[in-house]
Amino acid sequence: MEIELLYALALRFFLIEFKSTKRPRDWFRNLHPLCEKWTSCPFCNGFWCGLFVYWLFHGVAIHLLFFALASGFASFLVSIGQEYMLKRLAGG
């Protein structure tokens, strides 16, 4: 289960924060206001990436929702850690 969580966080990083995917990400953001919210909310994009990764490895099961919630929460925690470290590096 831990390796799937790392896969979900890696997928989230690749889709949301990786510089090489900026152009498709900007195109996706401009499709609909919900798409913009999805890409700007760390819990939301972590949830959907976790949902996809769990479904890919295990199919549909009751644990799918719990894993998606856990990966959304982990994504949120990673985002908070990133903001804190960037603030500390900037001298704030």
Q: By residue range, what is the domain housing residue 65?
A: 2-89
Q: In the predicted model, is pLDDT for residue 17 greater than 90?
A: no
Q: Which residues of 61-72 are buried (b: 16+ CB within 10 A; e: fewer)?
A: eeeeeebbebbb
Q: What is the pTM of this model?
A: 0.82
pLDDT at residue 47 in the model:
94
The total domain count for the chain is: 1
pLDDT tens readout for residues 49-86: 999 999 999 999 888 889 999 999 999 999 999 899 99
CA dihedral 5, 11, 17, 21 (to 10 degrees): 180
Q: Is the pLDDT of residue 11 over 90?
A: yes
